[in-house]
Structure 1
């Protein structure tokens, strides 16, 4: 019976399980803890250990002087120091990927060719430099379509993630522009409703939404504020509609208030 061939997974398919990463940590504090372990072990050269914020140098020092723990009774300290060094090297590896990706981005922004970057990326061809750069960019990207999972480290996956991120940014920008245009209609209607709020028989729910409107209507400049005002107006109208359905009475107690409320209903129905 012929063996079943494994189906190759698509190169753009994100990892089903997000890779574990160290992420942000206080590296200087950990170097300080490593320093203390060496001091407690009576390291005779501890004064030569680089400062806590000199991570690479401190790790090289700790590696070179690890023998201070090679005596009886120091097993726990030796283990703790070794684990901290492993953690800090892994953290440093992650930071290197992030910063190298940014350096490549800056070099490309200054018109550097992939042929220029190939030797400094330790690869032989411009195409290999491009692929390596794309893999490094995976450390800076997450795929929002899959719960912000890290992107798979392949050029194809990075390109696909960049396409999705750009499309999402474009959609958000268009939504903000639409909200800004609509705000020109929402603002006068919202202000008119608030001008007549004393003539609207509002229950607690409607009053809360009117309060929210009042809090932003006079200082409504950013797209987020403009979207919020539209949502508050919509919520207030819905609250009034529920109240009217429940009581059988229209919310407006004057003709001016009725016209203001009707204008809001008409606007939100478009």
Structure 2
């Protein structure tokens, strides 16, 4: 087994460049005005490297801090380069590029070598997209296993989303029906309060947040009706239509 290498991961690169700039300003670096902007990390690092002697007026601790910022930022760029190169390879393949065509761009000599290098780069992309700790090992087996797990997660998420869509599709008709026949329900203050909340949100229930609110209010109304039923030891619905509406709502609640 190959141990996954430690990664710098996502850092605030712009803040690190800004700190480098501050150190050069503290050292009265005459070239600091020409230092690239904080989001131009590569250019800023080259500038800091060229003008590192200007920091000699600072303490050893400050010089060490500046150098360590540079080391960390170069490592960050190395890791990000793998991610972006993997995306570029994927774009080239989607555009019909053969592995043999990609070999020179990937600095290898054969199509098989280009494929293998692309798979190793893909490990960086998987790590970046899933924020995994530890990172995905750069082996074909580890990449395949990570892709398999991701496919399982996507399938599970799609199932959950479909179940939620089906549940929401039934929610509004169930709520409307219960409100339509609320005269056949008992005058319980708690239940009345939640039914009023349902009626208010139903006037314009279109956003996901409103759907969540409607679901919460319906659940609360059904719980209040169940408590009333327990207190009185008799069915809460007094009409056939109200009993059917309440039954449909309880069926929705438990599925």
Give the shorter-chain TM-score range.
0.7 to 0.9
Partner of 1:23: 10
Q: CA deviation at 1:103?
A: 0.9
CA shift, 1:111, in A, is 0.8
Contact 1:205 1:239 in 2 (8 A): yes
* Aligned-pair CA distance for 1:239: 5.0
TM-superposition CA deviations, 1:88-122 (whole Å, max 9, x none): 22222222122111111111111111122222212
* Secondary structure in structure 2 of the residue aligned to 1:84: helix
Query: What is the CA-CA distance between 1:130 and the residue it aligns to?
Result: 2.1
Question: Does 1:166 find its partner at 2:148?
Answer: no
Give aligned pairs, total: 253
Residue 56 (1) aligns with residue 51 (2): no
Residues 65 and 173 from structure 1, CA distance in 2 versus in 1: closer, same or farther, beyond 3 angstroms?
same
- What does 1:37-76 correspond to in 2, within 5 Å? 37-71=23-57, 74-76=59-61
Instruction: Please state how far the C-alpha of 1:78 moved relative to its aligned partner.
Output: 0.7
CA distance in 1, matches of 2:235, 2:153: 42
Distance 1:52 1:114 in 2: 37
Distance change (3 Å), C-alpha of 1:142 and 1:36: closer
Is 1:125 the counterpart of 2:110 in the alignment?
Answer: yes
Q: Is residue 257 of structure 1 aligned with residue 242 of structure 2?
A: yes
Determine the structure 2 residue equivalent to 1:90: 75
**Partner SS, residue 121 of structure 1:** coil
Q: Does the 8 Å contact 2:83/2:128 carry over to 1?
A: no
The gaps in structure 1 that reach 5 residues or longer are: 1-8
CA distance in 2, matches of 1:122, 1:191: 65
Matches within 5 A, 1:197-208: 197=182, 199-202=185-188, 204=190, 207-208=193-194
Say if 2:186 and 2:236, in contact at 8 Å, map to a contact too. yes
The two structures have a TM-score, normalised by structure 2, of: 0.77
Matches within 5 A, 1:168-247: 168-181=153-166, 183-197=168-182, 199-202=185-188, 204=190, 207-208=193-194, 211=197, 215=201, 218-220=204-206, 233=218, 236-238=221-223, 240-247=225-232
| Higher deviation after alignment, 258-267 or 239-248 | 239-248
Give the aligned CA root-mean-square deviation in angstroms: 3.8
